[in-house]
């Protein structure tokens, strides 16, 4: 695994920072956002540090199906899979990305307005 010193998500993946983990495999970890934007707000991250703007490799891309399968399982367990949810990845500062470590947000648990 590649970890970046000072990356909060790498520290969570290593267990150095506590988090409310809802799903974990050898490659991924998913946990509740500490500043939720909806009743269900969960982040899915690869344990391996990936900056989506700078160093996305073929191996990183091959992790994407696992992220989508994790989202399917998480939303089922959270009771929002059938009702609907958002799965969002922000990339770069203009998108609102705050941590430069590839991550996806699962948002749900209420009617979400249009994006824009």
- Is 3 a domain residue? no
Angle at 84 between CA 95 and CA 19, to 5 degrees: 60
Kindly provide the residue ranges of all beta strands, DSSP E only, lying in the chain, ordered along the sequence.
21-24, 28-32, 40-46, 85-88, 104-108
Among 49, 101, 103, 105, the one annotated catalytic: 103
- Is 89 a domain residue? yes
Residue 77: closest CA among 25, 27, 30, 28: 30
Query: What digits encode the pLDDT tens for the residues 76-100?
Result: 999 999 999 999 999 888 898 899 9
CATH code at position 37: 3.30.428.10
pTM to 2 decimals?
0.93
Round to whole Å and give the CA distance between 8 and 102.
12
Query: What digits encode the pLDDT tens for the residues 23-82?
Result: 999 999 999 999 999 999 999 999 999 887 777 788 888 889 999 999 999 999 999 999
Range of the domain at 77: 8-108
- Is 54 a domain residue? yes
- Is 114 a domain residue? no
First to last CA, the chain: 36
Please name the residue that has the structure tokens 């982040």: 43
Q: Is 41 a catalytic residue?
A: no
What's the pLDDT score for residue 42? 98
- Is 71 a domain residue? yes
Structurally, the chain folds into a number of domains equal to 1
- Is 1 a domain residue? no
What's the pLDDT score for residue 116? 66
């Amino acid at each position: 695994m590649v970890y970046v010193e000072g990356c909060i998500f790498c520290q969570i993946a290593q267990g150095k920072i506590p988090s409310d983990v809802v799903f974990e495999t050898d490659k991924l970890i998913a946990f509740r956002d500490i500043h939720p934007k909806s009743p269900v707000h969960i982040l899915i991250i690869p344990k391996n540090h990936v900056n989506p703007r700078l160093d996305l490799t073929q191996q990183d891309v091959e992790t994407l199906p696992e992220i989508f399968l994790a989202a399917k399982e998480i939303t089922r367990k959270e009771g929002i899979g059938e009702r609907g949810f958002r799965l969002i990845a922000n990339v770069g500062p203009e998108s609102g990305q705050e941590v430069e470590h590839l991550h996806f947000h699962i948002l749900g648990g209420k009617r979400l307005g249009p994006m824009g």
